[in-house]
Structure 1
Amino acid sequence: MQINTTRFGSVSIQPSDVLEFPHGLIGLEPWVRWVVLADRENPGLGWLQSVDRADLALAVVSPRRFVPGYKVRVSARDVEPLGLPEGVNPQVVAPVSSHGGALSINLKAPILIGLETGRGRQVIAKDDHPVQHWLSGPATMRRSA
């Protein structure tokens, strides 16, 4: 199966690679079919690419890569639509945002992916995590004495 993207050009994927987000993503509810693509230049970065909209791709990372010990508490009701087998936990990724040269990840609204079922869901964590956990920022200018 071929999908067209504005960021990666034409990409060949398997139908089994398509993830269904029945409720969409927050703010992107109309688009429910996505695929995770690797970033060629940065192995720690992935792209959640819409299958149905070429210009829609979200950068995602494993939050544990930047916040050791990161855990997310969600209700069973939030995880149930993933249809995961008993005892299987979803893969957790966090959206990355760019703000004038600074990068942040959203730890408050992670994306849960059931790799076994091909379903995903963005949730609001019960934990007191920030919406913007800063990974980088512009260099601070210091005045020399």
Structure 2
Amino acid sequence: MKIKTDRFGELEIRKEDILNFATGLLAFEHLHNFILVEVAENPVFKWLQSTEDSEIAFLVVDPFVIKGDYSVYLSENIRTELEITAEEDVIIYTIVSVPLGGLKDATTNLMGPLVLNAKAHKGKQIVLENKELTIKYPLFPKVETKKVCGG
């Protein structure tokens, strides 16, 4: 089947590539079906493209690459809802925000990860209760530079 998108033009997709988010995403509860589109230049990133609204696509990233000690607890309710029976069925992404300053100032929402079961074609955005996490975790942390004065 074909879908039209503002960002990618017309895409040929397979029905089995569609991920169903039964409750939508936060602030986008009316959208339920999405596909993942590869970012050829950098496989750490993907686009989560709505199949229902051609304008809606979210840049997502593998949070474990960005923050090595990141962890997500999945309750039994979420595991049941997404039909998760094995850890290898679970894929986690977080949504990236790119401000006007460009990619160097991009952040990702570690508190609201997307939990996917690609095998069951289901997804859910959850909200983690870990107060140490942030919704604006920098993708590219600023490196402090110190001036050394000679003397």
Q: How many residues align?
A: 145
Distance 2:67 2:35 in 1: 25
Q: In the superposition, relative to structure 1, how do residues 139 and 14 fare at CA in structure 2: closer, same or farther (>3 Å)?
A: same
Hey, what does 1:124 align to over in structure 2? 127
Q: Which runs of 5+ in 2 are unaligned?
A: none
Matched, 1:133 2:132: no
What displacement does 1:48 show?
0.3
- TM-score after normalising by structure 2: 0.85
Distance 2:94 2:79 in 1: 16
The alignment's C-alpha RMSD in Å is 2.3
Moved more, 66-75 or 106-115: 66-75
Moved more, 32-41 or 87-96: 87-96
Matched, 1:112 2:89: no
What displacement does 1:137 show?
6.8
- TM-score after normalising by structure 1: 0.89
What secondary structure, in the 3-state scheme, does the structure 2 residue paired with 1:53 have? coil
Identity, % of aligned positions? 27
Q: Which runs of 5+ in 1 are unaligned?
A: none
Hey, what does 2:78 align to over in structure 1? 78
Matched, 1:16 2:16: yes
Contact 2:89 2:118 in 1 (8 A): no
Hey, what does 1:43 align to over in structure 2? 43
Higher Rg: 2
Moved more, 27-36 or 84-93: 84-93
